[in-house]
Every structure is written in structure tokens, then in C-alpha cells.
Amino acid sequence: MTYESAFFAGGCFWCITPTFKETDGVIDVISGYSGGDEKDPEYLDVKLQKTGHREAVRIDYSPQTVDFSELLDIFLNGVDPFDAGGQFIDRGHSYTLAVFYLNDKQKNIAENKIRELEKSSGKEVFISVEPYKNFYPAEEEHQDYYLKHPEEFEKELIESGRKKPNIV
């Protein structure tokens, strides 16, 4: 099977993984670190802003089933593109938004979607569009965190402000 990859930094990588994993045509989603200069960064160093990397995901997908533009729409619906300082309670460069493009087609799609969003919202969008530089998979404990630790994951979503609690 032929597949392509997309690289998005969307704040907490735990929080953006499930939506992509549940998308038809997505083969795999790997949590990791991208964009910095340090080789083989570790979670705590990235979290503490020591590496220049952002928490990111690599999405391997079948372009016959889902395309880059659709994945970018999913990404935009799961983040706050108007926040320059991070995402929800996660603050600092490592939690800011980015699209790491692999080719001119991905770059043009990302730039056009951002312009459309700025025009329709009347607000500045804070998503960096950068050429792909590197991607280092995160430690195993961070892969599919939502499946390994469903209660902690749900708590993270609510405490971060990404999800409103169910009030009975």
C-alpha cells in the first residue's frame, strides 16, 4: 500500500492523536517531537522548552481515502488557531501550532487554509508553516496514550480546557 505522511504540531500530542486515529484512511499516528535542533529529544526536555522542538504527530495515511487537505481540516477543528502562546493550559513554544510540510503542495494547502481562516474570522492565525526538518518518535509511554490510560486522558482533556466536563 502506498501512503503519505503529514506532520502537525497541535499542542499536547496526546490530545490530538485520537481524532486522527479514528479517521478513515489513516494508517498510523505517531506522537513525537519536531522542528528543533536537538537529536533524540526526551519528553521532559521538550516540555520544559529546552530543545526547540514542538510536540507533534506524524500521520501516515492513504491518499486514495483521505487527503492532506482533509487532515488539515481535522487539525484546525481540534486546536485554537488564534492562540500564539500554546494550546489551552499547555504554554510555551513546544505547544505552539505548526504544519511541517513535505512538499510545495502541502505548503500551499496549509497557507491557503490559514489565509481563508483569517479572512473568515477576522483574526490573526498563529500556525507556523515550516519545511519538514525532522521527527523523533516520543517514548513508548506517550504512544496511544488515550488507549493506555483512558481515565487520565479524559482528565487531561477536561483540565486542559479542550473538552467540557459532562455535568449530570
Enumerate the H helices of the chain as residue ranges. 13-21, 43-47, 68-77, 104-121, 145-148, 150-160
Residues noted as catalytic: 12
- Which H or E run contains 90? strand 90-91
Are residues 104 and 68 in contact, defined by beta-carbon separation less than 8 angstroms? no
